[in-house]
Structure formats: C-alpha cells, structure tokens
Amino acid sequence: MLALKERNDQAFSFFYDHYAGALYSIIKQIVPDNPELANDVLQEVFINIWRKIDSYDQSKGRLFTWMLNIARNASIDLLRSKSYQNSQKNQELPDNVYRGAANQAILQNVDSIGLKKMLEKLRPEHRVLVELAYFKGFTHEEIAEMVAIPLGTVKTRIRNALLQLREYLK
Amino acid sequence: MNLQEYIESGIIESYVMGLATESERAEFERLCILHPELIAARKKFEEKLEGYASENAVTPPPEVKAKVLDAVRTITLEAPQNPAGDPGRPAGLPKLVAAASIVLFIAMAFLYYQTRQENRDLTGVNDRLKETLDTTRNILKTIVGEQKEVVGNPNVTVVNMVGTQAAPRSSANVYWDSARSAVYLVVKNMPELPSDQQYQLWALIDNKPTDLGVFDATGNKVILKMKNTRKAQAFAITIEKKGGSSSPTLQKMQSIGRMMHTQ
C-alpha cells in the first residue's frame, strides 16, 4: 500500500497481479458482450488507481472496495458512452431505452459470473432492481420510473436484496 | 435511532457497493465516527465481498498488464508525484530539482572526499609533530634530571679538565659524585676523531690509571655517565683505538684535571 502510494513500479506489478482478476470479473459482469472494451476498461481502471491512489481514504473503506467502485463506475460510464450505445443500437429500440434495459436485465442470465451469478438466487422482482442499480448504474428514481413502482418500494427492495446477497456471500 | 436496526437496514451494503445516495453516504460516514460497531460491520461485509470477488476472479489477457505497466511508467516519467486532481505543478520542475540534487550530491561528495583527505593529511602532520614534541620533552626531562642530579648535587665535585700541550684547546668537565662514586663527563670542546678512534677517560688513583670508559667528541648527550670510581686524585683523557685500551697511551693525553681536594 505504501509502495503503491510512492508509485513503485514493481510493487504496482504485484498489485496488478493480485487485484486484476477480481476487477476484471466485475467489468465483465457489467460489459459482458465486448471483450475488447472490457480490456480497455481494466486498463483505464488501473491507470486511474495509479493516478488517484492519494485520494483513497482508508477511513471510508477497504482498498478493494475503493477499487471495485472505480471499476464499476468506469464500466457503467462505458455503457453510457455514445460509442457503446451506437454499437448496441441494433439490439435496442432507442425510444424505449429504460424498458429495453429492464427487459434485458431480466432475460440476461446466460453465462453469468461472480455477483451476477448470485443474483439468480434472488426473487425476480428483486433481481431486476439490483441488476438495474448495480450493473446498469441507474439511480433509484430512474428505476422507479422504468419499472413503474414507487421510489420507496424500489429502495426497500434493493436494500433487502443486498441483505440477502450478504447472506449468500457467507 | 436504533443502531441494530440501522445496521440491518441494508445501508452498509448499499454504501459499500456504491448504491447509497449522497445524503445516505454522508449520514453513514458521520455515524461511523460515533459508532465503531458500524465500522466493524462495514469491514465485515467488505471482506466478504472481496473474498467472493477474489474467488470469482477472471484472469484478464496478459497484454492488458503490459499496457497498464507501460502507461503507468509514462505517467511516472511525465509527472512524478502529481496525482490527477491535484493542482498541477510544472512537470519540468521535479526533473530540474532532481537534476539539481544530483549535481549537489556530487559536489557534496567531492567536498566531503577532499575535506576528509585534507583532514587525514593534517592528522598525519599533527601526529608527527606530537612525536617530535614528545621526544624533545623526554630529552629535556632527561637533561633536567641529569642537571639536577649532577650539577645541583652538593656531593659532586667539579674537575675542570684543561688541554695538554698535544691538544691545547681541548676542554671538558668531570663531575664526580663522591657519595655514590658516580662519574659524569661534560664535553666542552674536544676535536672530532677518525672513526677508528675514541676518547678514553681515566681516573688516576695513587698514580695508577683506571679505565672510566670511552666516549666520542660528537654525540647528542650533554652529560655522559662514565664508570664509577670511589677514589681519584686526578682524571685524564687520552685518544685510544675504538673501544678503548687497557692502559692509557700517554703521549696522546689530551687533557688532565686534578681534584681540588684530594681525599
């Protein structure tokens, strides 16, 4: 950790070996259909970790948590990017993005890995919310609109789903 | 607020997984300061999540690592210690500072080396001077000691040796300590001899010469300790072969001195 903050090359290499697999896994869960882009995201994530390591605050969480969120955010940013949207155009109707994503979230469970695989254990109405919030990066408000249920219910269901996931993690 | 209820509300999981809103995050962080058990619960979930993520790791293609390390090296060279988001320092400055510190280091090293060399030289000179001083001090101490013993001693009789016809300018003093029978000789003026010859001091006891030892005209000792004699009416110096003779060569008598008070 100290070596990382001092930007030691060799330490960074070890560090990469230790965390790349776990971070690559989350990226693949969010960007499952484009290995090239997933590789780009992983590269960007490690460069960002290297650049921003000074801003990591130990009091707010473990280093892995910090990195996992960087990887998740970078992956979601990619999903939102114009170039990615364009490449996916043929798969979705542009005037119905929300419903399209929601439908996709329900259907998409082939070859799932990691946390996503664990989602399969949840009830479908919970699963879709976690999928939209965690793997698609929608806000609770957006999800409430997408799936046409009250915001409070969205929040409660997501919280309950996360608590259930916590139990499965044991 | 019931802390246990709060912990079981799913806030920890949404905070850790990045699903909490800005106000929820702020509240959670504030409560963490007040309640260490919240931090413990958070860490527990983080560890679980990390463990699960590690178990479900997917090995990325090796070329990504090469790219990452390349990029990281470039960043390090471009702007060392300048993380994104920080107010940018001129990238050239650290390099300049680095170059300056190397130059400074070399200069310091050279100065250090030079100073140490000079110091070593001076220490050597100092040591030699100290040795000389010690030697000189010892010589002086010996001389002072001898002077006290010989000149200042009330039992000592001084016999002034005057030159004979063979050597009119030769002169020396014999100091005879009658209490201890000790004989000292102070050469005042004796011509230098060929290297195969030496001067010899004799005591004349009842007109018979007794050998008191040989000496050279040159020498760094001021007072020469000769052989002891309990009696002597007179002293004589002759020139003899190196090492001395058993009886004096009287035609080579250089100087003679009689006791003022015969015993």
From CA A84, how far away is CA A71, in angstroms rounded?
17
User: Which pLDDT value is given to residue B11?
Assistant: 95
User: Which pLDDT value is given to residue B97?
Assistant: 78
Tell me how close the Cα of A38 comes to any Cα of chain B, in angstroms: 9
Tell me how close the Cα of A60 comes to any Cα of chain B, in angstroms: 7
Structure token digits, residue B150 = 């010989």
User: Which pLDDT value is given to residue A98?
Assistant: 58
From CA A123, how far away is CA A163, in angstroms rounded?
13
User: Which pLDDT value is given to residue A90?
Assistant: 57
User: Which pLDDT value is given to residue B261?
Assistant: 44
Cα–Cα distances (Å) from B103 to B69, B97, B98, B108, B110, in that order, read 30, 10, 9, 9, 11
Q: What is the mean pLDDT of each run of 10 residues along chain B (263 residues)?
A: 89 95 94 92 94 92 90 71 49 73 78 83 89 87 77 80 75 84 84 86 86 80 81 86 84 71 37
From CA B11, how far away is CA A160, in angstroms rounded?
10
B116: left (phi over 0), alpha (psi -120 to 50) or beta: alpha
Q: Do B83 and A170 touch (CB under 8 A)?
A: no
> Which residue shows structure tokens 């912990």?
B7
Q: What is the largest CA-CA distance in chain B?
A: 135
Q: Does pTM top 0.90 for this prediction?
A: no
From CA B52, how far away is CA B189, in angstroms rounded?
111
User: Which pLDDT value is given to residue B204?
Assistant: 86
A74 pLDDT higher than 60: yes
Tell which CATH architecture fits domain A93-169.
Answer: Orthogonal Bundle (1.10)
Closest residue of chain A to B79, computed from CA coordinates? A51
User: Which pLDDT value is given to residue B77?
Assistant: 67
User: Which pLDDT value is given to residue A161?
Assistant: 94
Q: Do B48 and A68 touch (CB under 8 A)?
A: no
Report whether A105 contacts A131 (CB < 8 A): yes
pLDDT tens for residues A43-71? 999 999 988 888 898 889 999 999 999 99
pLDDT tens for residues B3-38? 899 999 999 999 999 999 999 999 999 999 999 999
- To probe the interface with B, which of A17, A47, A162, A170 has the most B CB atoms within 10 Å? A162
Nearest CB partner across the interface for A61, out of B8, B42, B83: B42
From CA B224, how far away is CA B174, in angstroms rounded?
9
Sequential DSSP letters for B228-248: --S--SEEEEEEEETT--SS-
Residue A94 pLDDT class (50, 70, 90 cuts): very low
Do A93-169 and A2-82 have the same topology in CATH?
Answer: no
Mean pLDDT of chain A: 83
Tell which CATH architecture fits domain A2-82.
Answer: Orthogonal Bundle (1.10)
Higher pLDDT, B83 or A113: A113
Instruction: Compute the half-sphere exposure of residue B67: CA atoms within 13 Å on the CB side of its CA.
Output: 15
B187 sits in which H/E element: strand B182-189
The residue ranges of every structural domain in chain A are 2-82, 93-169
